[in-house]
Amino acid sequence: MCLISNLVAATIILLPFATAITAPTLTGPAIPLGTGTYPRLTKLSDGSLLAIYTDSRSGNHTLGVSKSTNNGASFSPISIVDTGPSTSRDIDNGFLHQLPGGKVLAAFRNHNGPVGGPFTFYRITICISSDLGKSWTYLSTPAGDPQGPGGKTGIWEPFLEDALDGSLQLYYSRENNDDDQDSLLRRSKDGGATWTSAQTISGAELTNARDGMLGVARIAANSQSKLAVFESGVAGRFTIHTVRSDNDGLSWPVSSRSTVYEPPAGKSAGSPQIVRVGSRLVASFGTNEDGGVWPEGAMKVVVSEDQGRTWGAKTQIHPLPAMWSGMLEIDATSFWAVYETGGVSFAQKMRF
Ligand SMILES: *[C@@H]1O[C@H](CO)[C@@H](O)[C@H](O)[C@H]1NC(C)=O
């Protein structure tokens, strides 16, 4: 009896106070960004919003750009970055980024070969706009790989971020073979015109994991510490992870690899992004845990209030189907969640 009482008392004392993580709520209607998929959104220094998406109508794959000058209440198409016949070119995975000087970059995958492959050459291309997205010219090809053995060495899903030293960082994913893909980083000191060789930031120690679809966020404003989020696929099942750098991307210790979200056994979560919203971090992903044939699923987010150590408050942004999630911080308590459903890309305002 005495022993049991002591155990009960000890259990009560040792239980930590569980502080519930705050979940964001949907605010207002989903706003159409454009006809197409893989949406990404960025804010320009004049306060307008630019969206990019892949339009596959008309027998071409086309990177469309739309703009909002009313804080996201509506978007209108303003330009295309590049277009090419779907039978001979695979143009997709657009990502927009305004340089500190005002010019806007569009990075994307730009492969030779029909959409869906096989591809004879893989590349990441960057185009530049000097008029806030109205027109685009070619700038550089930071990465290119010929078709390797078995049609591999694919490169995918560019993500651009300004480093604290004024240089530019390009994150993307590269296949080593069917079962092994790594996360890579290159740097530019001339606004994206020329690039360093690639540094592997996740997956170098693994040969059975497809790490891919990178996004990066600082854990606090101007912090040297940041998290790169990515999906990792092992034997066809995908889960969400981060690696962390505490020196603005110079090093990414293998020991920092940590799990953000793992769905129930047999289900997948993938296509993540990450954004800092005030003191919180938000990670988005698509998951088939409630239904859908992978990679089809619902878009959800999880929240961290301890700078990415733990995650919770899982919140659905849009039910099945909602594909290729992206996010953009609005202010310290709200953000845009973007996704494609039914062939149209949307932005959903979320608020804490
Ligand atoms: C398709 O792409 C080609 C090559 O860039 C271009 O000449 C053509 O106008 C495009 N067609 C459509 C319908 O966009």
- Terminal Cα-to-Cα distance of the chain (whole angstroms): 48
Q: Residue 178 has what pLDDT?
A: 87
- Of 151-155, 200-204, 315-319, give the lowest mean pLDDT range: 151-155
Ligand 1 mean position, distance from CA 60 (Å): 6
Residue 134: strand, helix, or coil: coil
Residue 320 lies in a domain: yes
Q: Which atom of ligand 1 is nearest to the CA of 80?
A: 14
Cβ of 83 less than 6 Å from ligand 1:
yes
Cβ of 58 less than 6 Å from ligand 1:
yes
CA distance 66 to 183: 29
Q: Residue 9 has what pLDDT?
A: 46
1 compared with 55, residue with greater pLDDT:
55
Burial class (CB in 10 A: 0-12, 13-18, 19+), 246: middle
Residue 236 pLDDT > 80: yes
Residue 1 pLDDT > 50: no
Residue 301 pLDDT > 70: yes
Residue 116 lies in a domain: yes
For the segment 5-56, what is each residue's pLDDT rounded down to a tens digit?
Answer: 444 444 455 555 567 999 999 999 999 999 999 999 999 999 999 999 999 9
Report percent pLDDT > 90 for the chain: 91
Number of C-alpha atoms within 13 angstroms, CB side, residue 100?
11
Residue 1 lies in a domain: no
Residue 315 lies in a domain: yes
Ligand 1 mean position, distance from CA 35 (Å): 17
Residue 228 lies in a domain: yes
Residue 165 near residue 220 (C-beta atoms within 8 A): no
Q: Residue 14 has what pLDDT?
A: 52
pLDDT confidence bin for 192, thresholds 50/70/90: very high
pTM for the structure as a whole: 0.94
Identify the residue whose C-alpha is closest to ligand 1 atom 11: 60
Q: Residue 148 has what pLDDT?
A: 80
Q: What rounded mean pLDDT belongs to the chain?
A: 94
Q: Residue 147 has what pLDDT?
A: 87
Residue 200 lies in a domain: yes
The residue segments making up the domain with residue 14 are 6-351
Please give the average per-residue pLDDT across 175-199, as a whole number. 96
Residue 345: strand, helix, or coil: strand
**Could you tell me which of 212, 106, 100 has the C-alpha nearest to residue 163?**
100
Please give the average per-residue pLDDT across 143-168, as a whole number. 92
**Could you tell me which of 284, 312, 313, 283 has the C-alpha nearest to residue 299?**
284
Identify the residue whose C-alpha is closest to ligand 1 atom 4: 84
Residue 204 lies in a domain: yes
Identify the residue whose C-alpha is closest to ligand 1 atom 2: 84
Full strand arrangement of the beta sheet holding 60-68 = 37-43, 49-55, 60-68, 76-85
Question: For the domain that residue 250 is a member of, what is the CATH number?
Answer: 2.120.10.10
Identify the residue whose C-alpha is closest to ligand 1 atom 6: 84
Strands 121-129 and 137-146 turn out to be antiparallel
For the segment 263-281, what is each residue's pLDDT rounded down to a tens digit?
Answer: 999 999 999 999 999 999 9
Identify the residue whose C-alpha is closest to ligand 1 atom 7: 84
Please give the average per-residue pLDDT across 137-148, as a whole number. 94
